[in-house]
Structure formats: structure tokens, C-alpha cells
Structure 1
Amino acid sequence: MTKKTGLKPPIAKKMPHELEMHGDVRIDNYFWMKDREHPEVKDYLNAENAYCDSQMAHTKSFQDNLFEEMKARIKEDDTSVPYKYNGYWYITKFEKGKNYPIYTRKKESLDNPEELLFNCNDMAKGHSYFKLAGISISPDNSKVSYGIDTNGRRNYTIHFKDIKTGEVAEDQVPNTTGSSSWGNDNETLFYTKKDEVTLRAYQVYKHKLGQKEDELIFQENDEAFGTTVYKSKSRKYIIIACYSTLTNEYHILNADQPDGKFEVFQPRIRGLEYSISHYKDYFYILTNKDKATNFKLMKCLKNQRAIDQWEEVIGHRADTLIENIDIFKDYLVVSERRHGLNEIRIKRWDDTQDYYLPFDNETYTAYTGTNVEFDTELLRYGYNSLTTPASVIAFNMRTQTKKILKEQDVLGGKFNKDNYASERIWATADDGTKIPMSLVYRKGIKKDGTNPLLQYAYGSYGSTVDPYFSTIRLSLLDRGFIYVICHARGGEYLGRKWYEDGKLLKKKNTFSDFIACSIHLIKERYTSSKHLYAMGGSAGGLLMGAIINQAPELYNGIVAAVPFVDVVTTMLDDSIPLTTGEYDEWGNPNDVLYYNYMKSYSPYDNVEAKDYPNMLVTAGFNDSQVQYWEPAKWVAKLRDMKSDSNQLYLKTNMDAGHGGASGRFDSLKEDAEEFAFLLNLEGILR
């Protein structure tokens, strides 16, 4: 093992800044880091990067080996399962050694010549970050619109291209979400613009090819809402969706009449959530109307859309969350979640068939895939588990037979799924609630408290982390790690109430759930506090910050990726992206009740002079979701106040945003660095 260098950790200067609210004064010594133009900001971030690199220099060759090991499991010259849309088969593929995808299509038959749509490897040249999104083909198949982001702030410029000639039009639309939808005239596009400061998507414009001036057709003035525009699967409607955490509203326009006027579907009512899908003379509505906490399915005639005209199709069930629907010519497919497990229900419109796909595992993930064709008997769905690589499956809904279209290749010659085991276990939270965990490990481990264990969770926004397969994770499992997904409250693993019980004034349940799971894992001797590690990103990074303030003695190491840790200050700053739209998630601290509650758990506000675990914290300088200064300030404060000599590193990607590096191999290098940090703490460097 190479000896660490004597480079001292950076000490950020203190410039006390007074923050007063509700008569309460907080002193923020590192508030100055918020100014990205301040000459010392980049100096500090670069100094932290240099310190991290120097202290982990002895792991560099190991990181390289981990990277090559992870890369070797990936099929580099991979091709997606083609899907058919409007007469063309669409294909995404990767070439050996290339970082970015290539998009192509074939007309009618897969035996026909391939047309190139985009080679992102060529388009990415000269950019340290590159992301293409929002590919939208015109109804006559001749043109394509698409968005490009080259700094990682998820702020896209929309371009237009003639597919046959490859010519890119002079028309460009900056500052958008990247997606756009074509009217059926093949000349009109609808797209969503973002506020230049907050990046809130709030305006829908209409663009005519070749015309310089675009027409504003909708503006969302409520700062708690965002908006987007898309086309119905039936291709009959252009739909504007307005959304907040608790409320939805939709506006519809006949796609054959792009110059017509949008009509409101059902005016917003606070607390009423709904989504719409068009089928023949009806709209189908997934909604929480009438206190349907886990949602129910309703329908209405397309010209009788008022809420009192909605009729029930599938009622509310206390034990089953309806997550999504897919509509086909003869079938309705309902994606549900019961007792934490994914279920897919298939029902003929004429009621001659109604059944569930069979799954017989407790740690699997199943989901409907790319189903853009309307008139088909084939449902495409995906399946994987903690021990089983992903498969894409075509299921004939009439004959109930299936065909595996693709199984994920795990290259390298060492993987055998029979070498691994998975299980679901339950911990008991402080209030008596049972908290589920999904575990995977290499067979042969002993429950003697010596196993290194990585516990992961997200736990916010109702986002559920299902037990999924990961080739990257094998690098930990094969070195003796147990991997655990903690399904804490704040997600929707056990239904909508599971989410409601982990937000706003119940947010602390997320943190205590995670800690309860840690205590259970130690008690059952899966691991011990000397070998227990935790990881989370973004809102999951907030979770990491909270648990180390509350129970630092439980963990030997923490990886906090782009962590949302300065909760009070961020939620009081309505110029920051996401803030106003998230009052219904975290609360509005302009209200003293929420201010005090947030302050009581905000990781940055609760750093104390005590021992903390070893920590690796990551950030993205161009991050639009969690601004770089949150992790930077947090690390500076921890470094100043903590009483231990444990490792504390901040690694900032100066060229990327919330999702890290954009290239598929560049992102693996970030994974390898995080794994090397954890494995090094276990004395494993090979």
C-alpha cells in the first residue's frame, strides 16, 4: 500500500453571514461559496479535489483495476431491442470503446437498410459534457427535433433536422426542457421553456419551422407548479401538463388543429392528482379523487370532462397502489404495487380476459417497457432481480405466451447467478412500523458480524428504489460485501401512505427508519458498526447527513453523492431551481412551523463538535438540482468542527451536473472511485 501524502486538508476561510428568519439568527461562515464567480470558490473546490486525489493516490491503481473490471462486464458493442413506431423500427446502439449512443432506424422491416439519426460520439466532440434528449419524429417521418445539453444543468437547446438530407435547420430554441411534440401538420412544434434563473419549466411555446418568432401559448404563473407538453399515445392530442407535488391540471388540443385553442381538461383543485390517457371516445384518468390514497382508475367521454362526469373503472384498494397504465387497442395494462412488489395486470376491454403476470420472488423488479404501438397484442416488459440480469420480454396478451427478446450480457466469464442469494427482511422502527429491506450477497457468508455491508436508500418524493440487478455492484459482492436497499418511508414501496409518512412534518421517519435498519442488521450480525457503510445521493444525501448527525457511531464510512444538506437556506431561496415547486415535499420555511422542523434535521445546521464516520462527498459544479455549494459548505463546516481524524473528502466534477459524467465509461470511473474509498476502509485493495 502506498503511503498517503502529507498534503494538508484545505481550510475554507470563514466569512460570517447572518441569516435571520422568524426572530431566529443563523450564522453561516461559508455563505460566500454561493457566489460561483467569486475567485476563491473554484480555488477551494480545486484544492479539495487535489486533497482527495492525494489522499487516495495509493488506491489509484486499484481504481483503474476496478474500472477495467466494471467495463469488462459490459457488452461494449451493445444494441437495444428495436421498437416499432409509425412504420419504422428504432434502434439505439453502442460501439466498442465509444462513450455515447448511436440512434438509427429501419423502415418497416429489420432487414431493410439502416438510416442514421444521430451519432452522439461525433456530436460530443469538443464538449466535456454532452447529453442528447427529447428525440421526436414528425408524423410524416421526415424530420426530427431533439435537445442538447453541454454543461449538465439540464437546460437544453432544441434543434431540428431533415432526416433524409441530414441537414440541421438554422432554427434553434435555447433554454428548454429538451423535449417537443409535433402537430399533425408536420410543421408545428410545441415545447416548454425554462425560467433562466430558477430553471422552472413554466412556458409552452408554439414553433413553426422556418419562422423566427415563436408564439407563447401557455404560461404557468404559480411558482409551485411546473409544466410540460407531450402527445398522447393515440396521436390525437397535444397535451399540456401542469404539475406540483400535490396537484395536477391538463390542457388538451386536437393534434390535427395545431393552431387551435387548448381547452382545460379539469381545472386544478388543490390536493387532486390525476393523469390522463386517450382511447377512442374516452379519456382514462388515474386519480386520487375522493381520498383514493392509492389511486383509482376512472374514465369520461372526451367532451364531458368535468370531474362530476368521471366514472369508476378500477376502484381504490387500501393494499394496492396503481402506479401507471398502458393502453392498447384491445387491452388495458395496469402497473400496480402490492406489499412492496411490482404486479402487472392485463385486462381486455371486452372483459373476456383479466389476469396478472406471474412473478414468484420477493426481490425483483418488473415494469412495462417501450410500448408505443397501439394496435398490437404484444406487451413489452422488463424483469430483473438482485441476482438476475435484466431481460426484455415480449408477452402475447391473447395467448399468454412470452418471448425473451434480450437478456443482459454479463461479460468477463466470472458471473454465475447461482453464486448469489437475495432476501427480504424487516426491521422495526421507533414507532413500531415494520421497515422492509432487500439484501443481496455472495453465497457462503456467515452472520458473524464481520461482513462489510453497504446500506443504500433514497426515501423522498415517493420515488421507490426497487431491487434491481447491477453489474457494477458485483465488484463489491465478489469482495465480500453485503448490499442492502432500505425501503424507508418517503418512497412508495408500501403504497402512497408510505410516501405521505416520510415527508413534510413526518420527514424524520425516513431517517429513523434507516437507522432502525442499521441497528437490525448489526443485531442480526449481518455486519457490525466497524464494517457498516451507508450511501445515498441527492435527497438520499440529505438522509446521509441526517443519520451521521443522529447516529454517527453506527457507521464506518459514508458516501454522500450530490447531497441536499443545506435544507433551510435552500428552501428560503426562491431563486434556486426546484425550491418553490418543493414546498409540498419539504414544507415552506416562511411558515415558522416548517422552519423549526427543517432546522431540527437540516444536516448543515446540525453539524456538531463530535466524531463523524469516514466520508466521501461528491458534487457537480453545474448541478441544477443540488447546487455545488451545499456539499462544499457542509464539508468545510464538518472539517472545522469534527473531533475525529477520520477521512473526509470532497470531490467536485467541475464539468458536470447532478448526474455526474455524461459518458458511459466516464461515469464508471466515478463509481470506481467511490468503491475504492469503501474497499480501502476495509483494507481491500485488490
Structure 2
Amino acid sequence: MSADVPPVARKVPSRRERHGDVFVDPYEWLRDKDNPDVVAHLEAENAYTQRATEDQGPLRDAIFDEIKRRTQETDLSVPSRLDEWWYYARTVEGSQYPVYCRVGAEPDVWTPPAVVPGVPLDGEQVLLDGNAEAAGHPFFALGGAALTRDGHLYAYAVDNSGDETFTLRIKDLRTGEHLPEVIERVFYGLEFSPDGRRIFYMVADESWRPFQVRVHTLGTPVDQDEVLYEEADVAQWTSIDLSSDRRWLLVGIGNSEYSETRCLDLAAPAAQLMVLVPRSERILHSAEVFEHDGEAHVLLVHNGGPQRGAHGREPGRAFNNMVSMAPLAEFAKPPAEQEWRTVVEHDDAVKIEGADVTSTHLILSLRRDTIETVRFARLEDVLGFAFGGDGAADGGRAPSFAEPAFGEELYTAGAGSSDYRSPVARLRYTSFFTPPRIYDYVLATGELLLRKETPVLGGYDPNDYVAERAWATADDGTQVPLSVLRRASVRPDGTNPALVYGYGSYEVSMDPAFGIARLSLLDRGIVFVIAHVRGGGELGRRWYEDGKKLRKKNTFSDFVAATDWVVSSGWADPARIGCMGGSAGGLLIGAVLNLAPEKYAVAVAEVPFVDALTTILDPELPLSALEWEEWGNPIEDPEVYAYMRSYTPYENVRPAAYPRVAAVTSFNDTRVLNVEPAKWVQALREASTSGQPIVLKTEMVAGHGGASGRYEEWKDRAWDYAFIADGLGAREVTA
């Protein structure tokens, strides 16, 4: 890398005083995106980064070409049936974005049409061409889409800046013309009423918190749209969804510790929102409403409540969740008088992630031994167990669940979208070295029908690679699961380069998934280790609870323990280890570099949340108040303040030999503002004693997910991986 001189931001002291602690921030002025000096500084940083990494250009080009060469660029997804149509997306070589299409379906035919990449299906109708929508814009992303039951109208929301606010338009698929109404600044989430006359959508407040559910009646002025629901609590997130049979609108309000659900019967024009589970019960749950044999029922995944079962009313006792049912009429009673019937008991070893219904079956999504998978039971059996004469209350036989067998140790299987009436359930499957597969699971027989495996070109052979489970021992003796990925030819001889990757927040799990770009690292002899640290959800709710709030430092020490394991196991040369993470995983990387900078040769932090305390102290900033349930509230709680003050990366940079570091961010990111890595990079450069380059790369037209378009995404990934490979001395393919 070049020894060019990096930009130096001027210092403008900004004093913060909280709970008797004083912090003087010299770079807070970089927060003002409208300040021309801030923009000029970011552009100077980009210019420096380009110069400093210029020698990595050929390596970036090589990795990009490897990704491109392995990708079937002209492709077509497996059609998915909804009502009387098969819906799918196709991509075309040379085009950045998918084209969303449909063809008509024959009655009672549930086998998807056979597809040939590059050959449109007979009778194809284009709903939306992403490339046409993106033309003339620097960015393009969809924020949701919805269809009327009759298939005539298609609503979709588009973001052209990367700030995750969208413009909603409605297209008449019979004519190809758009309706006159255009709704600006909507958020994720839009749904049609069954009659197609109304559309429900979400709006965010100034802090980018979704807080309003609005209703637009087609043909009326947008400024007359009704507010169906507004959430005043700044620490609550609001969302909408339709029930599986699309009769009920479900409004979810909550945070990571408790939630509330309301529902609206869309078949009853005069119906009002009905509270199912109020937040006052402090139960963390999800709810589904469905009708069976003329009676409406509620299906609940929850961690406590008035169910019959072993865990009583105390929230949190069923920390890995349980599943219950109750007639919808039961929720008209006060919570203390309701009776829910347990259909799946709590299990310390199995986390129930969610539940859904088809017209004939209950579908459970669960996590066992870190692995996400699915189970199925006949809905008649479940209802009979819950409400029949020999049901759960009387010790009747529990319903039998079937679980598909996939034959790999480390994999991810989940339910995809399926028509409520379908006799098959669509499943998504992948592993670290099995490309994504689409299955149809025959509900009546348990047969798995493989519909497609995403092709990987260029002579890819999964047998050339190995994925293994290992365990690192944390400082407190906790066993931390690791996923160790490598070329089969790589041996633990203590000479290999290695990359340790982690996240560890919000109960998000780093599940096994195939990645074409990752092959470029493995082919250069790099051992890729995913550290499933506390704060994630890999080992259930307790794993998450042990890595949040006043136990957050477990996340960081787990990652360091994972790094130590990579050395002690012989998989890596201790002088050739890199680390990488994004968003809250970027906070992880920042904290780890402060803890043990000497353990890493190179680090990449993507959209890193490295100035967390400043952000969370300001409830006016995007999402800050919502973060209190994850990190604690440092505004009100001195202990939380002191704890966060002791680890937040920017405020704990110290004189040390930091490795070479790349901070990658986006100018329009609304989740982690670009000021955070901009400040962090300045602090690192000033404190580092190693002389290693520290660079800041800002996408000037992008959001939290980076640039839009698949080729731009490949370029971004090639940039990150070239920085890592160069820093580890692994530029050449060794396979």
C-alpha cells in the first residue's frame, strides 16, 4: 500500500457531560452532511483511499472476474404461485437489476412451470423492470410490493437515494398504466385490502422510526389518507403484515424485549383494530390469525402468558418460546381471563423462531444446535390437541411433527412464500458449500421435490471445500461455536492466513449460507472462521441475552477467544489473521481492535457502529431510542452510561499498534450515520503507532447496504476482499 499522507480533519472541540463524566469530541462537526467542508473531507478521504490502495487494483479486478465467471448472469427464479398466477424474477447478462414477471396458472396445478434461463415463459407479463426503473438514477432499491387478489393492481415502493425512504406507485396490470396517485416518503410494508380498494402502508418519523399505519383509498387525494394507527412511544417499532389467508391485517408494535399485536378484520368494513396481546403484559411474541371451519383462531409464538402449560403467566420463563392457540373471541376478554392452549411446549435446547399456517398444516421455524430448520404438523391434529375433548388440557396426544432431512451437518432451511391453499410448502435451503436450493415439500407425504439449485459456473466442485464446527473457550469458560471454512487441501500447519468474521447483536444469527465471493478468499488459502459470539441468536435466547446491555463485552471477548483458537488449533499463522464485520459487527471489530490490536494484521469494518454512545445519547438521531432495549439507556442510567463508555470504539481508541484498517460507509446510510466511521478513522490515525495505513471509503450515493445493482455489489465485495487478502499476504490463488 502507498505511504501517501492521509487527510487530517480540523479539530473543533465539542463538550459532552453526562453523569459526571466529561468527553471532548474534536470531530463531531463531521456530522453535518450539508456542510460543504464535510463533503470535501469525505471526498478527500476517498481520493486518499484510492491512492493508498491503488496497488490492489489488479487483485480487485481478479476477484471481481472470479465472482462474475462463477455466476450465471442470465437466470430465472422458480415461479411461486399466488392466486391464479405464477410469479418469478429473471436476470439478464449485462443488466444490474431483476425483471419481475408472472404467467397465468391453471386451476389446481401446483407444479411450477419448467424454466430455462434466458427463455421467457410463454405468456409472460412484466410487472416491473428494475433496470428501467433505475435508469437515470444513481441508486435503486425496492422497499416492498403488493398485489390485489384479482391480480389487476400492483403496488411497489422505490428508493432512488439509498436512505430507505420510498416512493409508492400503483400500476394497473391490465393496461400497463400507472394510477395517478403517488405517495412519497413511505417506509417498508404495504398491503392491499382483499377488495383491492384500499392500500395500507407505513410511514417513518423524523428519526426514521416507523410509527404510522396509513390507509389510502384508491381514487382519493393522498393528503386525505387515514391514519389507522400511530405509535407515540419513541422506543417502539411498528410494522404491518397480512395473515396467511390475507383476511386480517396484523399491526405489530414492540422492541427486542416485549411486543404488542393488533389486528383488523379486512372482511368487515366497519371493523376496528383489536388488541390481541397488549404491551402491558410484557410478553415477547408474534401472532397469526386464521379461520378454520368457520371459526377464527390466533396462533402465538411467545415467551409467557395465560396458556395452559408448564410456564404459567410469567413472561420470559419460556425463554426459547412456546406455541399456543386460542379462539379469536378469547382476546375480547381481559388478559387475566384469557386461556391459551399450549400446542408446543418450551424446550431449553430448541428455539422456536416462528410459526405459520397453510389451509392444512402448521409450519414451525426453529433453531437447534445453531441450525435453522422447519417442521410440519397437520392443522387438524394441532387443533384437535388444543381444543378437542382429549386435548392439551386433558393430557391428550401431542401432534406429530415431521422434519425434512437434508443430509448435511451445517445448513440453513426455511419456509418460503407459498399460496395458503397450496398442497406443497416452498422451502429454501443452503449450506456453506451447497448453492441455494428451492424445494417443494409435499405436505401430505413429506416428499421433498428439488425445483432448482442455483448453478455455479467455472468448474465449481463442493468437494474441494470443507465446513466444520469447532468450539472456542471464552474467558468465563463458555464454549463459543465456530464455523471453520477452508479448501480441502489446506492443513493446520500454522502457516495459513485466516479471516475471523462476526456480528453478535440483535439476536441475529450468522447462519450457514453459500457465498460465491467467499470462494475467492478460500482459493487463496485463507481459512474463513465465523465466530458465533454471544449477542447473536445461534444458541437461543439466552445466548442473545448474554451478549447485550450490561453483558455486551462478552461479544468482544468471545471474538478474541475465537481468534486465539484459530492460532492454537494450528489453522493460522498468528501474524496473518484478519477480522471483519459490518454494522453492529463493525462495532465488534472496533471494540476488538481496542482490546487486542496486536492479534490482527488487517481489519475491515463495514458501515461500523463505532460511535454508539454518542448516537444512543441523542434520541433525535435515527433509531436511537429503539436501541435502548439492545444496549441500555445511557441517558437515564449511569451504570449503562459508564459501561458503554468503557467499550464504545471511538471513545476508547488508545495509543497502540493498530493493524491496517478499512472503514467502509455510505453517505446516505440512515442506520449507521457516516459520521461514525469518519470520526473513528481520524482517532485511529492519530493514536496508532504501527504506521499501517488506515483508510475510509464512502459510497457517496448509497445506503446501509452499500451501492445498488449486482455488479456494483460485486465490485464492493471485491474491494473488501482484496484489502483483506493483500493485508494477509494472500494475493495469489493457491488452489
Same fold (TM over 0.5): yes
1:170 pairs with 2:180: yes
User: Cα gap change, 1:533/1:258 in structure 2, threshold over 3 Å: closer, same or farther?
Assistant: farther
SS at match of 2:326: strand
1:209 pairs with 2:218: yes
With 263-272 and 161-170 compared, the bigger mean Cα shift is at 263-272
Please name the residue that 2:309 is paired with.
none
TM-score by length of 1: 0.97
SS at match of 2:149: coil
Report deviation, 1:271: 3.2
Please name the residue that 1:66 is paired with.
63
Report deviation, 1:112: 4.9
Report deviation, 1:90: 0.3
Q: Is the 2:286–2:354 Cα contact (8 Å) retained in structure 1? A: no
1:398 pairs with 2:444: yes
SS at match of 2:57: helix
Unaligned runs of 5+ in 1: none
1:648 pairs with 2:648: no
Please name the residue that 2:523 is paired with.
478
Q: Is the 1:420–1:440 Cα contact (8 Å) retained in structure 2? A: yes
Aligned Cα RMSD in Å?
1.4
Alignment of 1:537-552 (within 5 A): 537-552=582-597
Please name the residue that 1:557 is paired with.
602
Please name the residue that 1:200 is paired with.
209
Q: Which amino acid aligns with 2:249?
A: I
1:153 pairs with 2:163: yes
Alignment of 1:263-412 (within 5 A): 263-269=274-280, 271-280=282-291, 281-289=296-304, 290=314, 291-305=317-331, 306=333, 307=335, 308-351=338-381, 353-371=400-418, 373-412=419-458
Report deviation, 1:7: 3.3
Report deviation, 1:427: 0.7
Please name the residue that 1:594 is paired with.
640
Measured in 2, the distance between the counterparts of 1:203 and 1:681 equals 47
Report deviation, 1:258: 4.5
SS at match of 1:321: strand
With 104-113 and 450-459 compared, the bigger mean Cα shift is at 104-113
Report deviation, 1:259: 5.1
Q: Which amino acid aligns with 1:355?
A: A
Q: Which amino acid aligns with 2:330?
A: Q
With 27-36 and 318-327 compared, the bigger mean Cα shift is at 318-327
Q: Is the 2:602–2:728 Cα contact (8 Å) retained in structure 1? A: no
Q: Is the 1:467–1:485 Cα contact (8 Å) retained in structure 2? A: no
1:43 pairs with 2:43: no
Q: Is the 1:191–1:228 Cα contact (8 Å) retained in structure 2? A: no
Q: Is the 2:667–2:703 Cα contact (8 Å) retained in structure 1? A: yes
Q: Is the 1:245–1:585 Cα contact (8 Å) retained in structure 2? A: yes
Q: Is the 2:285–2:301 Cα contact (8 Å) retained in structure 1? A: yes
Please name the residue that 1:19 is paired with.
16
Q: Is the 1:274–1:285 Cα contact (8 Å) retained in structure 2? A: yes
Q: Is the 2:607–2:664 Cα contact (8 Å) retained in structure 1? A: yes
Deviations 1:97-156 (A, max 9, x none): 100010011111446511110001011011111112311001221111111111111111
With 27-36 and 181-190 compared, the bigger mean Cα shift is at 181-190
Q: Which amino acid aligns with 1:293?
A: F
Deviations 1:160-203 (A, max 9, x none): 111111111221111211431111221111111111x2011001
Measured in 1, the distance between the counterparts of 2:672 and 2:539 equals 27
Q: Is the 1:368–1:380 Cα contact (8 Å) retained in structure 2? A: yes
Aligned residues: 680
1:57 pairs with 2:18: no
User: Cα gap change, 1:479/1:530 in structure 2, threshold over 3 Å: closer, same or farther?
Assistant: same
Q: Is the 2:601–2:728 Cα contact (8 Å) retained in structure 1? A: no
1:511 pairs with 2:556: yes
Report deviation, 1:254: 1.2
SS at match of 1:545: helix
Alignment of 1:574-653 (within 5 A): 574-590=619-635, 591-653=637-699
Q: Is the 2:597–2:656 Cα contact (8 Å) retained in structure 1? A: no
Report deviation, 1:91: 0.8
Measured in 2, the distance between the counterparts of 1:546 and 1:250 equals 36
Measured in 1, the distance between the counterparts of 2:728 and 2:255 equals 44
Please name the residue that 1:247 is paired with.
258
User: Cα gap change, 1:353/1:501 in structure 2, threshold over 3 Å: closer, same or farther?
Assistant: closer
Q: Is the 2:402–2:446 Cα contact (8 Å) retained in structure 1? A: no
Report deviation, 1:492: 1.0
1:428 pairs with 2:473: yes
Measured in 2, the distance between the counterparts of 1:322 and 1:178 equals 25
Measured in 2, the distance between the counterparts of 1:262 and 1:35 equals 41
Report deviation, 1:58: 1.4
Q: Is the 1:387–1:440 Cα contact (8 Å) retained in structure 2? A: no
Please name the residue that 1:31 is paired with.
28
Q: Is the 2:143–2:164 Cα contact (8 Å) retained in structure 1? A: no
Q: Is the 2:79–2:87 Cα contact (8 Å) retained in structure 1? A: yes
Q: Which amino acid aligns with 1:440?
A: L
Q: Is the 2:244–2:358 Cα contact (8 Å) retained in structure 1? A: no
Please name the residue that 1:463 is paired with.
508
Measured in 2, the distance between the counterparts of 1:217 and 1:389 equals 43
Measured in 1, the distance between the counterparts of 2:694 and 2:85 equals 52
2:272 to 261, 269, 272: 261
Q: Which amino acid aligns with 1:368?
A: A
Report deviation, 1:325: 1.5
Q: Is the 2:498–2:527 Cα contact (8 Å) retained in structure 1? A: yes
Alignment of 1:186-197 (within 5 A): 186-195=196-205, 197=206
TM-score by length of 2: 0.91
Report deviation, 1:311: 1.4
Measured in 2, the distance between the counterparts of 1:685 and 1:523 equals 25
With 71-80 and 340-349 compared, the bigger mean Cα shift is at 340-349
Please name the residue that 2:714 is paired with.
668
Q: Which amino acid aligns with 1:574?
A: P
Please name the residue that 1:221 is paired with.
232
1:104 pairs with 2:101: yes
Q: Which amino acid aligns with 2:61?
A: D
